[in-house]
Amino acid sequence: MAKFGLLAGLGAGLLLVAAAPPSAPPSVKAPSGKAPSGKAAPTVSSALRSPNFVVLLADDLALMDLGIYGGEARTPHIDALARRGRMFTRYYSSPLCSPSRAMLLTGLDNHRTGVSTIPEVIPEEHIGKPGYALRFEPGVTTIAARLKTRGYRTYMTGKWHLGHEAGDLPDAHGFDRSFVLDASGADNWEQKSYMPYYADAPWFEDGKPATLPGDFYSSRFLVDRMIDYIGEGDQQKPFLAYIGFQAIHIPVQAPPEFTRKYKDTYRQGWAAMRKARWQRAQEIGLIPKGAPLADPPRGLRQWESLSSQEQALFARNMAINAGMIEAMDHHVGRLVAHLKRTGEYDNTVFVFTSDNGPEPSNPLASSRSMQWWLDSNGYSVSADNWGGKGTYAFIGPEFANASASPGAMFKFYSSEGGLHVPMIMAGPGIAAAPPSAAMATVSDIAPTLLAMAGGTVDDDAFDGRSLLPVLAGQADAVRSPEVATGFEVSGNAALFKGSYKLVRNLKPYGDGVWRLYDLAQDPGETRDLRNSDPAKFKEMMDEYRDYARRNGVLEMPEGYDSSAQIASNTVRRMAARYWYILLAAGVVGLGMVFGLYRFGRRALRKRPA
């Protein structure tokens, strides 16, 4: 039956690539505009030269999903880290998971790492080209490898998604111990795939295939295994602990004791949620008062057009989404408590962020064959399930757009909803301070950690910049307003310079047109300035072309559509996986045709003249 469901998925045009009041966030203070003197990090006192590092990466978490950023989910432990240290309100990641993870671990632009995009959406024309190996290319060095040379113990648990062939897994890139998933996602309760693209859930421990325990729940297990790793080795040495949570990637799942708290939170629908977050963003200073809110992308449904059953299902899905965020926070709290018990907390720097914005996929929107695949693999989308084993929940493009408020669009696209995510740092050397509105990026994390460990941040080794000048109160900005910063994944591209942003989004929700916005006045990206300010538009286009040339960005094939590409890549992958079944079916089919042909000939011969 499972094989039947998998074969049914061959024809699916899959779109999948994949309430108590929130904690009161502090008001956001705008930067003074003071530029840092350069990349060189300030001197760290000798007592802080070897701090521990805990890097916590959520999956598909929107800017306002955490309580401290104005979200509905209760996140007291992560909020406490923000109050202890610094939260950033203009932090940007790439719009897609693997490129962001490569950038975080290396401090380089994704194209320079070899991980320009993900296997699910790469067009055939790009496969194997420089920068498009979809694995770390020779010469790329991770922060784990750099810290290891400085005497650090290095550990990782959770989502890797950077390849699992020889030399691809964490053990080959500086990690002493690791228990990782090399896929875009997987079930959170069992070791099984979440989409037809994958035959199973490929977990690995220390570079070898691994089996999950029977009592597995992703956030709990990843923290438990990390606690075990931290207890190993020379306890006098500092450690790097990197956890890539599955929360809140599809399938959205969490224990019902977390999810049922939010059963009434989202019943007013996505338009009400998007407006409420936009209003809160103004109240707490994330955006200027009166900043316009973008209309939803074309093609999204009105909440009122859904049946009462559909409304109940999507409100339930969002409740599970919030519960999964709270469950992740709960297990972050367990890790913090462990470090306090063992005396490591005061010497540990925490980084919490997300790989990209919220996931818009609705796997059931375009094909009934996906429903057959879910049925044959033990999944249910019933509104009667509240996140436990077998639940298959997703928030869809409408609630993803609401979650991304006050930004436009969502994951995979280079509008604010896809790139603009939360980031928090706390620990020794980071004094509690108001939120920073300095423009920072995912490539800044690795050089920052190296600088905090006492290393030298070489301009040639990183594309990112150390955040230490901002964290130490020596600067209000990470980059000069004259420095341009680019992002590109599968044709969706953005370039930032000062308060200006150049952006292009491709199909299915984009149109391939370059647009220009001034984010200081228009963070919702509602007023295109390309015609009213042609000089600035030309300057930004020239800067983007220079960025693309330096980093080896390839242009997309004519008419590229990510949803069509994943459907094509899924069919190709499944055909390669199940070729023998297809061959047998072909032989049987030919046999039937031949049998019908012979039957027809006999019938004609017997017909009287």
Catalytic machinery residues: 97, 161
CB atoms within 10 A of CB 475: 21
> Taking the C-alpha atoms of 385, 357, 17 and 244 in order, what is their torsion angle to the nearest 10 degrees?
-80
Tell me how far apart the alpha carbons of residues 349 and 55 are, in angstroms, rounded to a whole number.
Answer: 8
The token pair at 460 is 């040639």
CA-nearest of 93, 44, 392, 436 to 249 is 392
Residues 6+ apart with CB under 8 A from 474: 36, 42, 468
R_g over Cα of the chain: 25
Tell me how far apart the alpha carbons of residues 285 and 289 are, in angstroms, rounded to a whole number.
Answer: 8
Amino acid at 72: E
Q: What is the per-residue DSSP string for 471-532? A: HTTS-S-SS-TT-EEEEEETTEEEEEETTEEEEE--BTT--S--EEEETTT-TT--S--TTT
Q: Is 172 left (phi over 0), alpha (psi -120 to 50) or beta?
A: alpha
Q: Is the peptide bond before 248 cis (omega within 30 degrees of 0)?
A: yes
* Pairing between β-strand 348-354 and β-strand 52-58 as defined by DSSP bridges: parallel
| Count of helices and strands (H, E) across the chain | 17, 15
Tell me how far apart the alpha carbons of residues 244 and 105 are, in angstroms, rounded to a whole number.
Answer: 12
Question: Tokens 């017997």 — which residue?
Answer: 606
Instruction: Determine the straight-line distance between the first and last CA of the chain, rounded to whole angstroms.
Output: 50
Question: Tokens 């006098």 — which residue?
Answer: 236
Strand-pairing partners, residue 205, are 179, 208
Q: Is 487 exposed, middle or buried (0-12, 13-18, 19+ CB in 10 A)?
A: buried
